[in-house]
Structure 1
């Protein structure tokens, strides 16, 4: 199915909560990174998360020029992949954590909603994601 025939998907823009058409930047990132993108996808970032490709996703973020919405989608993919990486690795590389946290810090105004989501601030730690303690620590640095 050609990209122009995709159904329109909507997300909430983190900065000002306006609904925007999202499929076009998912298509661009999918094409660039060789990822899946189809109308039945509900959570592009989660469905394409891949801990083995995490360094590649970080490198793409650091070296390519993306629009605001593309950056937000790619950071969502990075965080979902990092969560999967932490779930799989017995001894995670702290350099990966440092790189991701540095990217989040550089654009805190844009990414704090993603950090809040992964922080599960309203949940017990028994129900946390592997990434939750890292995101809670980052959140606390800004809102303690």
Structure 2
């Protein structure tokens, strides 16, 4: 009889549909990992166009207030300084190359993209190319994806297959 009473007592617990997760789940903006990757690659393409087009509004909108970037020359730029650097650069073209070396990660409200850029620049001696391995970290802040950190490293062409 004790056993039957015990089982009857547990029955409502098994039928309960109001179960709570152990930890709150972060809703995602993307239906699939491929959608997330496509979004951040498109954002990267917009940034490359903004560099060539000297679009300060793009950088002001897409970089967080606390954004910092370590340049290929070892300088640490805050948001305002980085925007000025990007606007004053001698960029002719900026393109992503060597996708086989890209790194992309996304989880919840953070993402990271690393890829290689070939940048055509104007110099006093004429036009030339530099190659930069670029990493940018993103975070969703106030409902918008914003760059929170960046880092660029000059690479030699033999390392990117050119």
- Tell me the TM-score normalised to structure 1 length: 0.30
- Structure number having the greater helix percentage: 1
Greater CA radius of gyration, 1 or 2? 2
- Structure number having the greater strand percentage: 2
